[in-house]
């Protein structure tokens, strides 16, 4: 009877624990094509081997979000099966491109625990690292979730809240070996706007919208081997809806941002992120961005741009919070990330 995985509860996590997440995953041409079928992804470096090669890269890597979702998905059975809420992300860095044929594994270290005052749940902080078959780290990020207690009588652990950077320092961003945007082809990339054309504070409405479908979000979520019941089973939530995996919204918004940010080619840093409201099938997702910062890099012709990416299911662009300081009900996602762009 105890053969199935009931998931961990708050009292099962201790600072310093290292969780080896199950089921390594080899990704390749199929995941790549499915990504392009599920999202309107058009960033040229991830669409074309020849474009990537002209930028000094051996081939078109798998989308950075394939790396993220694959590494993230493996953590779900160990980290968020009994989670009440996914509270935040920080210190995310993409460290190496993921190539077709790579096998990804995922490991997390518990770096913080804090029981809630209600005694029924607590916040768990983990630093997750994705590695390829050469044991090279390809991605790392911190995530914190609220997890229910299984045994309400379990003693509260000593509170440890990690000291996390609000923003990944631009100087620590990993630039893929060989990346060179000096001969970047703006015609083939789809837009003429370069790093110098974007101003801090500038806002961009990405215009396009996509109406969500159950089959699509479930296929995406399964592809990353994310097992959370609420995404698949109409009986898992009281209202019979299937909650769309927050990462599906991230990928949709990132793909929509092509229209206006076609040259924000590679995602290299994740500073923060909030899934502000639930997304359901039938919602039409739109996106807008705001330029938060810019930085130079050591790679030839390559600049870094820090962007806020907001996904919505209605309402006007550029509206984020109400007078009460809370996210507006139509806001789905507020993501703060670094991308690389030709200078």
Task: Determine if 58 is a binding residue for a copy of itself (CB under 8 A).
Answer: no
**Among candidates 144, 149, 167, which has minimal Cα distance to 275?**
144
Total residues binding a copy of itself (CB under 8 A): 76
- With helix as H, strand as E and coil as C, how does 116-171 read? CCCCCEEEEEEEEEEECCCCCEEEEEEEEEEEECCCCCCCCCCCECCCCCCCCCHH
The helix or strand, by DSSP H or E, that contains position 57, with its residue range, turns out to be none
CB of 282: closest distance to a copy of itself in angstroms? Answer: 8
Q: Which of residues 302-331 bind a copy of itself (CB under 8 A)?
A: none
Whose Cβ is closer to a copy of itself: residue 113's or residue 220's?
A: 220
Q: Does 33 bind a copy of itself (CB under 8 A)?
A: yes
Q: Rounded distance, CA 303 to CA 181, Å?
A: 9
Is residue 222 close enough to count as binding a copy of itself by CB under 8 A?
yes
Verify binding: residue 32, a copy of itself, rule CB under 8 A.
Answer: yes
246-305 residues in contact with a copy of itself (CB under 8 A) are: 259-262, 284
Contact region for a copy of itself (CB under 8 A) — 83-91, 95-103, 144-152, 301-309? 95-103
Quick one: which of 250, 248, 229, 244 has its CA closest to 81? 229
Percent helix, strand, coil in the chain (nearest 5)?
20, 30, 45
Nearest to a copy of itself of 115, 221 (CB atom): 221
Q: Which stretch binds a copy of itself (CB under 8 A): 101-109, 147-155, 166-174, 268-276?
A: 101-109
Q: What's the Cα-to-Cα distance from 109 to each of 21, 66, 76, 106, rounded to whole Å?
A: 11, 22, 14, 10
- The reply to whether 60 sits near a copy of itself by the rule CB under 8 A is yes
Q: Is 227 in the site for a copy of itself (CB under 8 A)?
A: yes
Nearer to a copy of itself, 162 or 209 (CB): 209
Residues 131-150 that bind a copy of itself (CB under 8 A): 133
């Amino acid at each position: 009877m105890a053969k199935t995985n009931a998931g961990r509860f708050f009292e099962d996590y201790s600072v310093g624990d290292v969780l080896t997440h199950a089921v390594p995953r080899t990704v390749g041409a199929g995941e790549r094509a499915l990504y392009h079928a599920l999202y309107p992804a058009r960033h040229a470096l991830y669409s074309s081997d020849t474009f990537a090669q002209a930028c000094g890269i051996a081939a078109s890597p798998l989308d950075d979000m394939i790396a993220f979702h694959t590494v993230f998905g493996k953590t779900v059975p160990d980290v968020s099966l009994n989670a009440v809420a996914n509270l935040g992300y920080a210190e995310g860095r993409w460290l190496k491109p993921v190539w077709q044929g790579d096998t990804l594994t995922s490991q997390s270290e518990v770096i913080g625990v804090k029981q809630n005052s209600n005694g029924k749940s607590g916040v768990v902080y983990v630093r997750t690292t994705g590695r390829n078959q050469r044991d090279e780290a390809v991605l790392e990020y911190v995530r914190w979730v609220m997890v229910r207690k299984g045994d309400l009588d379990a003693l509260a652990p000593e509170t440890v809240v990690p000291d996390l950077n609000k923003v990944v320092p631009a100087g620590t961003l990993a630039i893929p070996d060989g990346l060179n945007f000096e001969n970047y082809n703006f015609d083939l990339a789809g837009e003429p706007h370069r790093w110098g054309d974007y101003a801090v504070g500038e806002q961009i409405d990405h215009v396009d919208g996509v109406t969500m479908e159950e089959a699509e979000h479930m296929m995406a979520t399964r592809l990353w081997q994310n097992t959370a019941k609420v995404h698949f089973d109409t009986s898992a939530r009281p209202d019979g809806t299937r909650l769309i995996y927050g990462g599906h919204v991230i990928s949709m918004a990132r793909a929509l941002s092509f229209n206006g940010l076609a040259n924000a080619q590679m995602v290299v840093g994740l500073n923060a992120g909030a899934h502000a409201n639930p997304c359901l099938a039938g919602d039409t997702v739109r996106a807008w961005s705001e330029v938060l910062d810019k930085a130079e890099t050591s790679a030839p012709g390559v600049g870094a741009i820090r962007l806020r990416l907001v996904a919505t299911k209605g309402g006007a662009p550029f509206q984020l919070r109400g007078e009460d300081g809370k996210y507006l009900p139509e806001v789905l996602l507020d993501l703060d990330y670094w991308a690389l762009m030709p200078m």
